[in-house]
């Protein structure tokens, strides 16, 4: 992002259903298929996917969201060819280097979700830089799930709680949903209201499986590199037409 994004129309308003979401999470899917359809290598799809991610960040702010969480690289993605993984790592580094100054200037708080322990030293350094340089910001929250898996996150949280209990920091009676949540990668961040998945696939793919327990899902056939503010707004409009029951019988109560 090298130039300010033109301001769009007014943020999405309520449309007869539930209030517009404060937190949207996106499973960014379809880069490979986008490239294949054009006779291009998968890396070309991933590069276009980064551009789509930039558009999504700008659109989220224009649409009045407080939190945006992007699923960029899962714990299972290590099974991909070595060259593709290397390219994905390079794109993450480029994204942080190129976009961090503007995100910082605009007051964005950046958090990287996922297991950071087995990342290469250069990636670790960039992750630390992104988080530390934006730690005091609160105008907008961008969470990037990288080397992330929902089950892995819950397992790491359980291990951390066990260690805290062993050290006498926590007792069994102290462990409830609120206490457990603080050990997750998302910490005190609000749960997502809406999860969008692109490319027509209809599965959760191990993404925010604790946090998205009561999220609404919108599945779009649009491949991720073609994702733009229009598609984003359509997903939010669909969300706003729904009724969230949270296990209850309806009536619009949250």
> What is the per-residue pLDDT across 162-214, written as a single tens digit (0 to 9) for each?
999 999 999 989 999 999 999 999 999 999 999 999 999 999 999 999 999 99
Answer whether residue 46 is part of any domain: yes
Would 4 be classed as within a structural domain?
Answer: no
CA distances from 48 to 12, 177, 216, 227 (A): 26, 39, 27, 10
Active site residues: 29, 77
Number of domains in the chain: 1
Provide the domain limits for residue 219.
Answer: 23-149+192-240
The CATH code of the domain that includes 197 is: 3.40.1180.10
Q: What is the pLDDT of residues 117-174, one digit of tens each?
A: 988 999 999 999 999 999 999 999 999 999 999 999 999 999 999 999 999 999 989 9
**84 found inside a domain:** yes
Q: Where are the alpha helices (DSSP H) in the chain?
A: 31-37, 42-62, 82-105, 121-133, 150-166, 177-181, 229-240
Residue 2 lies in a domain: no
185 inside domain: no
- Residue 161, domain member (yes or no): no
What contacts 132, CB < 8 A, 6 or more positions away?
Answer: none
pTM comes to 0.89
């Amino acid at each position: 992002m090298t130039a300010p994004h033109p301001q769009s129309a007014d943020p999405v308003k309520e449309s007869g259903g539930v209030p517009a979401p404060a937190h949207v999470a996106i499973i960014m899917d379809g880069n490979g298929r986008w490239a294949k359809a054009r006779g291009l290598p998968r890396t070309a799809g991933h590069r276009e996917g980064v551009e789509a991610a930039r558009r999504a960040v700008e659109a989220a702010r224009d649409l009045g969201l407080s939190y945006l969480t992007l699923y960029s690289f899962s714990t299972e993605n290590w099974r991909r060819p070595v060259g593709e993984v290397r390219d994905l790592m390079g794109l993450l580094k480029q994204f942080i280097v190129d976009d961090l100054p503007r995100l910082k200037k605009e007051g964005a708080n950046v958090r990287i979700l996922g297991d950071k322990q087995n990342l290469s030293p250069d990636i670790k350094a960039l992750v630390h830089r992104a988080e530390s340089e934006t730690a005091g910001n609160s105008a907008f929250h961008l969470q990037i799930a990288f080397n992330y898996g929902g089950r892995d996150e819950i397992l790491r949280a359980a291990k951390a709680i066990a260690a805290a209990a062993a050290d006498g920091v926590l007792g069994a009676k102290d462990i409830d949903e609120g206490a457990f949540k603080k050990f997750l990668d998302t910490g005190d961040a609000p749960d997502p209201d809406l999860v969008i998945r692109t490319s027509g696939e209809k599965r959760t793919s191990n993404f925010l499986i604790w946090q998205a327990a009561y999220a609404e899902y919108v599945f779009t056939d649009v491949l991720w590199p073609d994702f733009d503010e229009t598609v984003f707004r359509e997903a939010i409009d669909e969300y706003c037409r729904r009724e969230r029951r949270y296990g209850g019988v309806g009536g619009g109560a949250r």
